[in-house]
């Protein structure tokens, strides 16, 4: 079993980041010097993925423009000898084979993934949620791909969250398998603390077997009146093997302001052009000193 394809659902309305996301897709907001979606694509590519489908909607065409060539701009940069900028602009367009499909109605994450059925065909595939940016030494998707390939199964990226936070995620019922890898028996979407299976939450990364599509096709709306991927996975884990990987790395939810700002600060502190300057700026600021 080889995972060569990935699906990135990016058809949400961005209601947690308004008014910035009224006309700019949230996936296109810059994290330091690149849009959020580029980090996701880079993680997929670093995990061995060759073909990527982005599920978009009618307000997201800035995304496909971004991953296209831009001859006028490139000629101008070339003439001006701006090689670094030219390389950065071209690189974004050459990252991967990117395909698009629209989710014509906003009916939930499960429905968005179902739109990938024709693209995926009959092979396992990765899912990377557009809001969740990971910082890790080994790409999180690769950690999942390795587990899925080893067990010939689906794999979910999980980490422990606090009992107060679990109602923002899905909670999984698991049993031990090996270090950081568990068998999955059940799950529920956005449970109240009294209904949760465990403190392990699914955090934005999945490797799924194609059996998920038949399940999603017949799924009734769940939490929030939407077709929930979690409800589909709940059925999938009953008929097919599924593992959960307690992945190594830090996850940022860039779909809300705090997560977005944390990611911005951490990434800027690590960036070769801004890191030392920003650390110095923050130090002076904290000490109330003039610079």
Residues within the interface to ligand G1P (CB under 6 A): 109, 129, 132, 169-170, 189, 201-204, 229-230
CB of 30 to ligand G1P, least distance (A): 21
In the complex with ligand G1P, which residue's Cβ is closer, 77 or 169?
169
Euclidean distance between the first and final Cα of the chain, in Å? 57
CB of 102 to ligand G1P, least distance (A): 18
In the complex with ligand G1P, which residue's Cβ is closer, 109 or 216?
109
CB of 157 to ligand G1P, least distance (A): 8
Cα–Cα distance for residue pair 242/65, rounded to 1 Å: 37
In the complex with ligand G1P, which residue's Cβ is closer, 15 or 97?
15
Give, as one character, the DSSP assignment of residue 47.
T
Give, as one character, the DSSP assignment of residue 221.
P
In the complex with ligand G1P, which residue's Cβ is closer, 170 or 254?
170
In the complex with ligand G1P, which residue's Cβ is closer, 35 or 204?
204
How many residues are recorded in the chain? 291
Question: Measured between alpha carbons, how far is residue 64 from residues 13, 75, 100, 201 in Å?
Answer: 17, 20, 8, 31
Residue 140, token pair as written in the block: 């999180």
Cα–Cα distance for residue pair 88/35, rounded to 1 Å: 12
CB of 43 to ligand G1P, least distance (A): 14
250 membership: H or E segment, kind and range: strand 250-253
CB of 90 to ligand G1P, least distance (A): 32
């Amino acid at each position: 079993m080889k995972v060569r394809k990935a699906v990135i659902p990016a058809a949400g309305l961005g209601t947690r980041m308004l008014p910035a996301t009224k006309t700019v897709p949230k996936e296109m907001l810059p994290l330091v010097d690149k849009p959020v979606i580029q980090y996701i694509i880079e993680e997929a590519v670093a995990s061995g993925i060759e073909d990527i489908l982005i599920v978009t909607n009618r307000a997201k065409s800035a995304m496909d423009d971004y991953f296209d060539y831009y001859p006028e701009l490139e000629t101008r940069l070339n003439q001006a000898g701006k090689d670094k900028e030219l390389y950065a602009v071209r690189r974004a367009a050459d990252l991967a084979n990117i395909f698009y499909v629209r989710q014509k109605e906003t009916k939930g994450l499960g429905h968005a993934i179902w739109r990938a059925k024709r693209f995926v065909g009959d092979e396992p595939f990765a899912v990377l949620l557009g809001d969740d940016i990971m910082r890790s030494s080994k790409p999180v998707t690769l950690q999942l791909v390795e587990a899925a390939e080893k067990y010939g199964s689906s794999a979910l990226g999980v980490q422990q969250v606090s009992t107060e936070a679990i109602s923002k995620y899905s909670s999984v019922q698991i049993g031990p398998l090996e270090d950081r890898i568990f068998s999955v028996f059940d799950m529920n979407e956005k449970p109240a603390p009294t209904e949760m299976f465990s403190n392990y939450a699914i955090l934005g990364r999945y490797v799924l077997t194609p059996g998920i599509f038949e399940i999603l096709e017949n799924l009734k709306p769940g939490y929030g009146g939407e077709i929930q991927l979690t409800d589909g996975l709940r059925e999938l884990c009953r008929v097919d093997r599924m593992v959960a990987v307690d992945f190594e790395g830090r996850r940022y939810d860039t779909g809300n302001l705090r997560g977005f700002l944390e990611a911005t600060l951490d990434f800027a502190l690590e960036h070769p052009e801004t890191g030392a300057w920003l650390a110095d700026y923050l130090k002076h600021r904290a000490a109330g000193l003039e610079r």
